Amino acid sequence: MKKYLFILMMTLASLNIVNAQTDAGGCKDHPLLSRLENFYISECEENYNELQLRTGSNKTETKEGNLFYIYYRYNSDAGVKPKSVLQIMKNYEAAITKNGGKMLYKNSNSLDADLEATYYLSTKEKEYWIQLASFAGTDNAVEAFALKILEIEAMKQEVAASEMFEAIRKDGFVALYINFETGKSTIKPESAPIINQIVEMLQQNPDLKISIEGHTDNTGTMASNQTLSESRAKSVMDALISKGIAAARLKSKGWGQTKPIADNSTGEGKEKNRRVEIVKQ
């Protein structure tokens, strides 16, 4: 059973690079990842693709993005015993969590030759989904492991308060792309400028009352998406109130996945559907 390793934006300073055997043509380490000692790359691939990730014992999620695949093999000429499955897992786990990532899943027996673990890490620019898998031979020594890195670019939007108000005056609403933590209602720091522009718009137009309405793509269940859209809309409303906007001028609502504006069968469409609309009351 093929194993994968996903790793993301981190510096593995404790792991040395050894190229005793020649890497496959055109292959190299991911820019954000150093290889483990005494391993070489036997194959690799990079493309935009869909990836199914195990995020719990009975849970999987499908993500789309730029996908890197690197397959490492142990250099048998190194003259030292290969690392164990547990050593492989602990090395990468420490590096990922040190950089703010977290483990989402690992198979129940981490000492087994069949290791699989999934991790997630987020930065201002990208989300990284990581899954680690390795296969061991005699004495649980790892002879090969695979690395996949799925990168998802954060949708960025710059819109001024005056532009928001003009769109609302003309169309009755404006769609904003506020970045939240995956599956949560926590607003990411990089979206603070958008929140500040909404505040400025409301301060410049004191008679304006708005409805903050959350929308999702169709990933997950309708019920969970409804709840998520409601909680995200409320998070935006709470952020505005915390900056001095009167609660009486605001209300929040969630529509879940029921009002798509693009095709949910593509990654680009899903990104457009994950939005918050500011609607004139």
pLDDT, tens digit (0-9, with 9 covering 90-100), for 108-167? 555 555 678 898 888 777 889 988 888 777 677 788 889 899 998 776 677 899 999 999
pLDDT of 100 reads 82
Pair (178, 72) in one structural domain: no
Of 99, 131, 153, the last residue of a domain is 153
Q: Which domain holds residue 184?
A: 161-280
CATH assignment of the domain containing 254 = 3.30.1330.60
Predicted local distance difference test score (pLDDT) of residue 193: 92
Same domain? For 136 and 178 the reply is: no
Q: Which of 115, 130, 153 is the last residue of a domain?
A: 153
Q: Are the C-beta atoms of residues 11 and 30 closer than 8 Å to each other?
A: no
Domain match, 119 and 226 both:
no
Whether 31 is in a domain gets the answer no
Retrieve residue 81's tokens: 């015993």
Q: Where does the pLDDT of residue 31 fall: very low under 50, low under 70, confident under 90, or very high at 90 and above?
A: confident
Q: 25 in a domain, yes or no?
A: no
Assigned domain for 16 exists: no
Could you identify the residue written with the tokens 């998802």?
152
Structure tokens at 103: 């483990």
Residues 43 and 146 in one domain: yes
Give the domain-ending residue among 127, 153, 179. 153
Task: Give me the phi and psi of 251, to 5 degrees please.
Answer: -150, 160
Q: How many domains does the chain have?
A: 2
Same domain, 184 and 237: yes
pLDDT of residue 71: 93
Question: Of residues 88 and 67, which shows the higher confidence score?
Answer: 67
112 and 144 fall within a common domain: yes
Q: What is the pLDDT of residue 156?
A: 67
Residue 18 binned pLDDT confidence (cut-offs 50, 70, 90): very low
212 located within any domain? yes
Segment 23-44 shows an average pLDDT of: 87
pLDDT digits (tens, 9 = 90+) for 205-242: 999 999 999 999 998 899 999 999 999 999 999 999 99
The residues with which 49 forms a beta bridge, in sequence order, are: 65
The reported pLDDT for the residue numbered 169 is: 95
In a domain, 96, yes or no: yes
Higher-scoring residue by pLDDT: 250, 52: 250
| Residue 261 belongs to some domain of the structure | yes
pTM over cut 0.75:
no
Rounded to the nearest integer, the mean pLDDT of the chain is 85
